[in-house]
Amino acid sequence: MRVVIIGGVAGGMSAATRLRRLDSDAEIIVLERSGYVSYANCGLPYFVGGVISDEEDLLLQTPESLHARFRLDVRVSSEVVAIEPVTRTVSVRELPGEATYDLGYDFLILSPGASPVVPPIPGIERAMVLRTVEDVERMAASVEDQPERAVVIGGGFIGLEITENLIHRGVPTALVEATDQVMAPLDPEMAHLVADELRRHGVDLHLANSVTRIDEGGVVLASGEVLAADLVVAAIGVRPDVRLAREAGLTIGAAGGIAVDEFNRTSDERIYAVGDAAEKTDALDGGATLVPLANIANRHGRVVADHIVGRPIRPVSTIGTAIVKVFDLVVAATGWNEKRLAAQGRAHLAIHTHPAHHAGYYPGARKMALKLLVEPTSGAILGAQAVGTEGVDKRIDVIATAIRAGLTAPELADLELAYAPPFGSAKDPVNMLGYVAENLLTGLVESAQWHETRPLAEQGYLLLDVRTPGEFARGTVPGARNIPVDELRDRMSEIDARDVVVICQVGQRGHVATRLLRAHGFNARNLSGGYQTWHTSPAAIPALVH
């Protein structure tokens, strides 16, 4: 049996090595267009920044090491230019040059990855992209030449990582994002925290703006502003590399990737597709989606190898869990965000909390912002986001595991998570999300969201800030009245409206006040996440009171 794999790195090499462990006799040939077949793609930005100083640390395996251990026939600088499904052959060009040869297969695995999005704007050829080791070598060499200023186009994962690493190397950097926020997987009130962190570290951030032209000395924005730059990086995003698949007549799915079944087979039963080029099944709605993450590519490779040799397969859908470091912040998300839920018309509840990452009385406790999205009838967890400096990865991983296990949001309160003062709290932040969800789903309390404060006030709701006078003086929601929670019982006669939105700092005191008001006949709603969430949201930008 001969298996030909087009493309290495995560998906292709996982398929190759798993297949060899399952079948010691199969002929396995890996064809890789670049000069490197197995490298840490996610580490490339950190080589640019000098955080990873030795390029060898990025290279996980070589053709020689893969042959020595697995007897794999790995051919780098070998570009597949055509696939012929009828004859089960591929045409291979040896780079550099034009010489080609045909190679037959019994099974073919496509792992071409994704290509950087390069918009058709004048001068785009002046911009660098980051996808391969060769790309990072060119970019690192440019940084070594000490550019005076850099511009990064795109505020996604790679754009933020490149921006951070350029700043780390002492290069003044502007970041341009066409939408009104960085980090598309986040909702706006969470993304605002990331934007603040970028500005705090000196990034010249341009949101809701786009690049219309790249000249020799810089970039021209749609606003007319010109940003000087002798280094421009295009990190606008990636799209599945489906050229070979399309030309071979394979089905391209609705999401734009290669359509595959639960075994990662394409429309040709002898051809599989894995990694960034292949579509995935979304765990929340069962639809096709694109999630360019290394762990999913590795999983794909294993599934394909198992299926080829006839092992039982456990199909797995994706929830899109991701994390990124942005200077001193850690930003993570899993599942759907509120923007996507709203666009799909899916009912949901949003829960905001701002817990410390470990017990507050133990030195070094650091705050984080958590957002949980819940289906209001079943309590199913639809997604979560987290931004903070410590403990973010732990919480998002627990929630991602809960989603995979089918736990409901209230059941987060039941999780027995490791606790000691240096590591967590007796009520872990994840447990607290479960408690809040249970209160909301059972009707014990009702919440209001940051974007509802103004509409509710216009409907006649009283905005009641129950923090201390000092906190109230430092900033509140416009139009709010201040009665501290500890004085609320004695001053309830001052409340001249039956409908009330209760505001505190993060929602905890607001919960106490809301319960008290409801017990006395008021229609009270607690502002989710309190003032802490409101003042980082778009609602605060035009009317923040200090």
| Residue 277 token pair | 């080029």
Residue 226 amino acid letter: V
Of 329, 249, 265, the C-alpha closest to 110 is 265
Q: Give 126's DSSP letter.
A: G
Question: How many Cα neighbours within 13 Å face the side chain of 536?
Answer: 24
Residue 294 amino acid letter: A
CA distance 91 to 86: 13
Torsion angle, CA of 244/249/255/259, rounded to 10 degrees?
-100
The answer to whether 301 and 11 are in contact (CB under 8 A) is yes
| Residue 372 token pair | 């949980």
Q: How many residues does the chain have?
A: 546
| Residue 142 token pair | 């440019």
Cα torsion angle, 119, 257, 271, 132, sign:
positive
Question: Which among 22, 40, 42, 222 is annotated as catalytic?
Answer: 42
Between CA 364 and CA 376, with CA 370 as vertex, the angle to 5 degrees is 150
List 331's β-bridge partners, or say none: 324, 387
CA distance 101 to 110: 18
Q: Is 504 a catalytic residue?
A: no
Produce one character per residue of 353-391: b if its CB has 16 or more CB atoms within 10 Å, e if not.
Answer: bbbbbbbeeeeebebbbbbbbbbeeebbbbbbbbbbebb
What Cα–Cα distance (Å) separates residue 159 from each residue in 106, 128, 176, 290? 40, 12, 9, 19
Of 302, 289, 283, 376, the C-alpha closest to 111 is 302
| Residue 106 token pair | 């019994």
| Residue partners of 86: CB distance under 8 A and separation at least 6 | none
User: Could you give the angle at which helices 429-441 and 392-405 cross, rounded to 10 degrees?
Assistant: 50
- Neighbour count for residue 123 (Cβ, 10 Å): 16
CA distance 301 to 469: 59
The answer to whether 179 and 157 are in contact (CB under 8 A) is no
The answer to whether 501 and 461 are in contact (CB under 8 A) is yes
- What's the maximum distance between 2 C-alpha atoms anywhere in the chain? 89
Residue 323 amino acid letter: I
CA distance 314 to 404: 13
CA distance 194 to 489: 39
Catalytic residue positions, numbered? 42
